[in-house]
A and B are shown apart, each in its own frame.
Chain A
Amino acid sequence: MPNDIAFYLIAAFTVAFAAAAMTLRRLVHCALCAAAAFAGLAMIYLQLDAEFVGFAQLLVYVGAIAILIVFAILLTRGDEVRPGHSQSSPSWMAGVAVAALMLAGMAMAILLSPSLQHPAPSAAVAPVKQIGGELMTRYVLPLEMAGVLLTGALLGAVVIAMHEESDVKQPARCPASKGAEPDEAMSLR
């Protein structure tokens, strides 16, 4: 029973921080709330007896990805909060409506399915030793591919973000130039 209460508390924490991450105005606040939501998910993994995945989630998401996002926000400062300038796209209501419809559909499917209502089987453990053994035997090829992919992504990220002197500096034509000044727009293309 305490396990159930823990689940509902962590679930409320995670959903609240995820919603805050998607609705707050300042980008840094959004990134920090997203990190908290990822930490909540790591707690849910721990509560589901998947210790290794929980700690991997904590290391990768809270430790690395959140920091990376904060760095990207700091490097792209300047187009953030302008007074009287909306943070959401013009058709945001349609997007939120689509998401709400999708949630309603999925929730109905989940709640109406009788096979999902039974409690968990008692024993399920994923010992780290067994995970390591599986990674080195059955999943060794995917593990190597993941290493190659990470190396490629690292090199690709460096190459993409590297500073080039020949950058074409195009000033932002947004949002004042929506539909305006067609001559300049034509000459730029």
Chain B
Amino acid sequence: MNTPLSHYLILSALLFCIGLAGAVARRSAILVLIGVELMLNAANLNFIAFWRYGPHAEALTGVMFVLFSIAIAAAEVAVGLALVIAIYRQRKTAQVDCLDSLKG
């Protein structure tokens, strides 16, 4: 394990920015959701990397945080995709820039 911690953080930053770019640039609501998931995974990678390189690895805090984060992400995706399907049924589209009825 000679890889310095900074390389893991750079990888995480790359994944976060790819997810961010996709979430703000794509029109499909499902792809926006995938981008948000990528950003969440980048944060999880940071937790695991800091846990592994930190001085108190036996406390397992990073691992626990990521486990709960994965559980919450699963719940979030289920509700998010249900929302996308409900919107598609009502409006016959899932492109986020078409859903502007609340725009003044």
In the assembled complex, which residues on chain B have CB atoms less than 8 Å from the CB atom of A122?
1
In the assembled complex, which residues on chain A have CB atoms less than 8 Å from the CB atom of B24?
89, 92, 95, 98-99
In the assembled complex, which residues on chain A have CB atoms less than 8 Å from the CB atom of B83?
160
In the complex, are the beta carbons of A65 and B73 less than 8 A apart?
A: yes
Task: For the complex formed, measure the closest distance between the CB of A161 and the CB atoms of chain B, giving whole angstroms.
Answer: 4
In the complex, are the beta carbons of A124 and B31 less than 8 A apart?
A: no
Task: For the complex formed, measure the closest distance between the CB of B100 and the CB atoms of chain A, giving whole angstroms.
Answer: 8
Closest B residue to A163 by beta carbon equals B89
In the complex, are the beta carbons of B17 and A157 less than 8 A apart?
A: no
In the complex, are the beta carbons of B13 and A160 less than 8 A apart?
A: no
Closest B residue to A175 by beta carbon equals B98
Known: A121-B55, A167-B90. Is A65-B77 also a contact (CB below 8 A)? Answer: yes
The residue in A121, A125, A170, A172 that gathers the most chain B C-beta atoms within 10 A of its C-beta is A172
CB within 8 A of B85: which of A57, A76, A154?
Answer: A76
**A180 contacts chain B at the CB level, 8 A cutoff:** no
Per-residue 0/1 for A77-108: is the Cβ within 8 Å of any B Cβ (1 yes, 0 no)?
01110000011111010011011101100110
In the complex, are the beta carbons of B60 and A65 less than 8 A apart?
A: no
Per-residue 0/1 for A109-134: is the Cβ within 8 Å of any B Cβ (1 yes, 0 no)?
01101001111111111100011001
In the complex, are the beta carbons of A156 and B82 less than 8 A apart?
A: yes
Per-residue 0/1 for B62-79: is the Cβ within 8 Å of any A Cβ (1 yes, 0 no)?
011011101111111111
Task: For the complex formed, measure the closest distance between the CB of B29 and the CB atoms of chain A, giving whole angstroms.
Answer: 8
In the complex, are the beta carbons of B27 and A69 less than 8 A apart?
A: no
In the complex, are the beta carbons of B75 and A149 less than 8 A apart?
A: yes
Task: For the complex formed, measure the closest distance between the CB of B16 and the CB atoms of chain A, giving whole angstroms.
Answer: 8
A-contacting residues of B (Cβ < 8 Å)? 1-11, 13-22, 24-28, 30-31, 33-35, 37-38, 41, 44-45, 48-49, 51-53, 55, 57-58, 60, 63-64, 66-68, 70-79, 81-86, 88-98, 101
**9 nearest A-B pairs in the assembled complex, by CB-CB distance:** A22-B22, A174-B98, A95-B24, A153-B75, A124-B57, A92-B25, A99-B21, A103-B17, A157-B82
Given contacts A4-B2, A48-B49, A65-B77, 19 further A-B contacts (CB under 8 A): A15-B11, A15-B14, A22-B31, A30-B34, A44-B45, A53-B63, A64-B74, A68-B77, A76-B84, A87-B27, A99-B17, A106-B17, A107-B10, A116-B6, A119-B2, A135-B64, A156-B82, A160-B85, A161-B85
